[in-house]
Amino acid sequence: MRRNERRAASWLAALVLGLLAQNANAVTLPVFFGQLVDTQTVATPLGIGDDLFVDTLVTTETGSLSQTVNFTVGAGVTGFVGTAAWLVWPPESTGPRLVGVNIDILDASDAVIFSDTFAGVLANFAHSTLGGALAPGDYRLVASGNAIRTASLDVSLVFVPEPGAAGLLGLGLGALALRRRARR
Residue range 126-184, pLDDT digits in tens: 999 999 999 999 999 999 999 999 999 999 999 998 655 455 445 444 544 544 444 44
Residue-level pLDDT at 2: 54
- How many whole angstroms separate alpha carbon 64 and alpha carbon 148? 9
Mapped onto helix, strand or coil, the DSSP state of residue 165 is helix
Q: Which residue has the higher pLDDT, 152 or 4?
A: 152
Does residue 176 lie within any of the structural domains?
no
pLDDT number for residue 164: 52
Please give the biggest Cα pair distance in the chain: 73
Q: Is 143 part of a structural domain of the chain? A: yes
pTM of the model: 0.77
State whether residue 132 is helix, strand or coil: strand
CATH number of the domain residue 109 falls in = 2.60.120.380
Q: Is residue 18 part of a domain?
A: no
H/E element holding 92?
Answer: none
Which of 162, 184, 163 shows the shortest CA–CA distance to 76? 162
98-106: strand order across its sheet? 37-41, 63-73, 137-147, 98-106, 112-115
Determine the structural domain holding residue 44 and report its residue range: 27-160
Residue 133 domain-assigned (yes or no)? yes
Q: 56 in a domain, yes or no?
A: yes
d(CA 176, CA 105) in angstroms, rounded, equals 39
**What's the structural domain count of the chain?**
1
